[in-house]
């Protein structure tokens, strides 16, 4: 995928990358393998897969793994993310919604399953009244 760039949001390509990422999931406890493909503002695509842990609270979701990969490569703006749970049509968990919100509530989200079901969202609709960094400006207190 190195060097891959998408100019417009090409959902079919993002879905393809998310499906591929899902194959690499480490999910020995829940058996729920999740893949995500995150489209950066410059057109680069970053993938992530869930990484479970015996201490469930330490599990990493596919969305946050993709975001971490993107941040480590210098990306700071994002346009879209495609997420698949294979046979399940899942949406990002609350923690992932909050972490993604750090980079913009306008993020477009497509959740899809292997049976052809798809649901599209804008992050702001999934996380209304989000807690954002501007709340931490103590000069306004």
Q: Catalogue the active-site residues.
A: 63
**Contacting residues for 37 by C-beta, under 8 A, at least 6 apart:** 14, 15, 16, 17, 18, 21, 45, 46, 47, 66, 81, 82
Q: Closest Cα to residue 26, out of 59, 1, 55, 58? A: 59
Residues in the chain: 141
């Amino acid at each position: 995928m190195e060097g891959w760039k998408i100019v417009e949001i090409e959902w079919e390509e993002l879905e393809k990358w998310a499906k591929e990422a899902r194959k690499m999931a480490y999910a020995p406890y829940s058996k729920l393998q999740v893949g995500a493909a995150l489209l950066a503002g410059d057109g680069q695509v970053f993938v992530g897969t869930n990484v479970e842990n015996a201490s469930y609270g330490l599990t990493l979701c596919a969305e946050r793994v993709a975001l971490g990969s993107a941040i480590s490569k210098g990306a700071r703006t994002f346009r879209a993310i495609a997420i698949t749970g294979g046979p399940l049509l899942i949406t990002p968990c609350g923690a992932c919604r909050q972490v993604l919100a750090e980079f913009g509530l306008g993020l477009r989200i497509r959740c899809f399953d292997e049976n052809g079901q798809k649901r599209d969202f804008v992050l702001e609709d999934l996380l209304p009244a989000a807690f954002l960094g501007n709340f931490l400006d103590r000069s306004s207190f």
